[in-house]
Amino acid sequence: MTSFLELENVAKKFGGLTAVRDVSFTLSKGEIVGLLGPNGSGKTTLLNMISGANKVTSGKISLNGVSIDSLRPDQIVNKGVSRTFQLVRILPSMTVEENVICGLAFRKMPVWGAKAAIIAREKLEIVGLKDKASLPGHSLNYIDSKRLELARALAADPELLLLDEWLSGLTPEELEAGIELIRSIETTGISILIVEHIMSAIRALCPRCVVMNSGEIIADGSTGTVLQDDAVSAAYLGGAPCCMLTISLCSMTYILL
Amino acid sequence: MITGAKVSVAIIAFGLLALLPFFLEAYGLGLMIGMLSYVALATAWSMFSGPTHYISLATVAFYGVGAYTVAVLNEGISFPVILLIAVLIGLVLSLAVGVATLRLAGVYFVIFSFGLAELVRQLITWYEVNVTGTLGRYIFLPLEPQDIYWLLLGAATLTLIIGWLVRRSRIGLALRVIGDDEVIAAHIGINLTRTKLLLFALSASLITLVGAIQAPRWVYIEPSIVFNPTVSFLTVIMALLGGPHRLFGPLFGVVPLFLLFEWLSANFPNHYSIILGALFIAIVFVLPNGVLEFLDRFRLRRAKT
Ligand SMILES: Nc1ncnc2c1ncn2[C@@H]1O[C@H](COP(=O)(O)OP(=O)(O)OP(=O)(O)O)[C@@H](O)[C@H]1O
Ligand SMILES: [Mg+2]
């Protein structure tokens, strides 16, 4: 397998805080890899650097052998990378279908007009939202918003899909269906980097996983082996109180907002 | 959706408006000239500021530049050529300003855009006083009020047509996405800076054109006359009242407010600014999305009950 996505000594500093330090790993074409780690370990920041939302402080990121670390997000989309967001983002003033059409209209090979509507319906069918195509974006519930976000990401026709906790917050049945959905996307040949806290989902989906702690990779290998690693359990257990605190803080902020 | 009926209505309305100068007295024509210029200004303003939510107070910077270009060039060159030069100057200026400011977040952009008009005015004043040694300029162009009226009618129509085309185009959709969520916009492949810059420049060029067409009305021009910040504020209020998210929204804001301001400035010249400010606040609080959207929602609520 040739390396498709390649990160070399990537680091990100926010002022004095080092969110990601010296991260190197590669992802092959068509591979699905889990990215794990306690809260604040730098997973989202890493995705942000790949998608161009954050610029790397140092290090290199390349896709298909071409450096992408100095590109803007819109240029990176055109290189074949699309993503979903940890805090779901939907275009609230547009309908569900228009949300997906937007994903089609500005990609590398843009589709526009009647043809876009047809493809948008196909994408909505894949994620199970076909019946809600004409609803306003802001009226969707949590799981449907996540589905829509995924449909929009797929509309960009990605070679690499970045999912940031796409499976979190689902009911057990929804989780089951979500895992199936991601698996079906993977079989179409799209490479997937999936950030997730839910171990069962990682076990079900990813033969390989990468674990981060305080901005560094502490394990990278086959999922079964990695999850038994002492350092990994220490990171998770050691991080537990902090993790609980973050979760409660997050949910409080969410409720307040 | 565009239907044959709507197009016919638009063409008939245009025809009637074009015939108006034959029936109006000087005062009425003056009113119509003012109104048409604000229709063009508010529509052009909304083209950029409506979808992006960037509240620009730079309207008068471009408007004034258009007028000043005419004042400087009015001898020896034919008016259409002067208009073209004015639009080009507005285009170049707006591209330069856009590159510098469109990265700014909302409130900083508002402040900068306001400062821009003042900056341009000071620069021109400085130049006139220190280099050319004159402050005021005279415009002698063989243009009757009805000529200016027709030119403005053309400019307003052009602005509406361009606005309509933009809405139907991919760049119009891009602007809507940017207005909804810039992070999504960037991550679906929209070049934020280029899109905003393009629309900002388009909008500013049209605004410059309006200023240039109106210039001959003044006969005597100096910076404090053509860079009057009230023009920027009125444009914003009118567009917001009507609703900057719709093509004809600004038009519906211009007509009542222009007449109201006309009446206020005649009857309460001293309290004019205060009333203007109060109205501004009232509109933003009561009708944040404009009259048309408010009426729609009202109709919807009635339909439900
Ligand atoms: N824009 C930012 N400015 C400053 N600090 C940031 C920014 N984004 C992230 N950080 C910090 O970087 C660190 C890593 O954050 P990141 O969001 O990448 O973690 P994460 O692994 O995704 O965590 P979680 O599981 O909670 O989503 C945290 O300490 C966070 O506070
Ligand atoms: Mg995260």
| Tens digit of each residue's pLDDT (9 = 90 or more) over A151-161 | 999 999 999 99
Residue B52 has pLDDT above 90, yes or no: no
CB contact under 8 Å between A82 and B187, yes or no, is yes
Give the model's confidence band at B190: pLDDT under 50 very low, under 70 low, under 90 confident, else very high: very high
Supply the pLDDT for residue B191: 94
A106 lines ligand 1 (CB under 6 A): no
Please tell me the distance in Å from A240's CA to the nearest CA on chain B: 31
Q: Do B183 and A85 touch (CB under 8 A)?
A: yes
Closest-lying ligand to the alpha carbon of A40?
Answer: 1
Q: Residue range B83-91: average pLDDT?
A: 96
Q: What is the pLDDT of residue B60?
A: 95
The model's pLDDT over A61-98, given as tens digits with 9 standing for 90+, comes to: 999 999 999 999 999 999 999 999 999 999 998 999 99
User: Which of A12, A17, A213 is the best mutation target for the ligand 1 pocket, counting ligand atoms within 8 Å of the beta carbon and taking the most?
Assistant: A17
Residue A14 Cβ inside 6 Å of ligand 1? The answer reads yes
**pLDDT confidence bin for B144, thresholds 50/70/90:** confident
- Chain A residue with minimal CA distance to B192? A74
Over 70: is that where the pLDDT of B243 sits?
yes
ipTM associated with this complex:
0.86
Residue of chain B whose alpha carbon sits nearest to that of A93: B180
What residues pair up with A28 in beta bridges, in sequence order? Answer: A3
Nearest to A7 by CA among A54, A91, A68: A68
Please state the atom number of ligand 1 nearest to the C-alpha of residue A195: 22
B137 within 8 A of B71, measured Cβ to Cβ = yes
Which amino acid appears at position B236 of this protein?
Answer: V
Confidence of residue A225 (pLDDT cuts 50, 70, 90): confident
Q: How far apart are CA A33 and CA B250, in angstroms?
A: 52
Beta strands A160-164 and A191-195, pairing class: parallel
Report the pLDDT averaged over residues A140-147: 92
Q: A12, A18, A20, A43: which to mutate for ligand 1, most atoms within 8 A of CB?
A: A43
Alpha carbon distance A246, B9 (integer Å): 60
Confidence of residue A255 (pLDDT cuts 50, 70, 90): low
pLDDT in tens, A112-129: 889 999 999 999 999 999
Atom 25 (ligand 1) nearest CA: A39
Q: pLDDT tens digits, residue range A9-62?
A: 999 999 989 999 999 999 999 999 999 999 999 999 999 999 999 999 999 999
The predicted pLDDT at position B222 comes to: 87
Q: How far apart are CA A34 and CA A198, in angstroms?
A: 10
Chain A residue set in contact with B, beta carbons under 8 Å: 51-53, 72-74, 77-78, 82-83, 85, 89, 91-94, 101-103, 105-108, 110, 112, 152, 155-156
Domain A3-80+158-255 is of which CATH architecture?
3-Layer(aba) Sandwich (3.40)
Q: For chain A, give me the number of helices (H) and strands (E)? A: 10, 10
pLDDT at A236 over 90: no
Task: Indicate whether A240 pLDDT > 60.
Answer: no
Q: Are B181 and B51 in contact (CB under 8 A)?
A: no
Looking at per-residue confidence, does B4 or A194 come out higher? A194
Domain residue ranges in chain A: 3-80+158-255, 92-155
The reported pLDDT for the residue numbered B221 is 87
Q: Which atom number of ligand 1 is nearest to the Cα of residue A12?
A: 12
* Residue A215 alpha carbon, nearest atom of ligand 1: 14
Domain residue limits, chain B: 4-229
Could you tell me the distance, in angstroms and rounded to a whole number, from the CA of residue A45 to the centre of ligand 1? 6
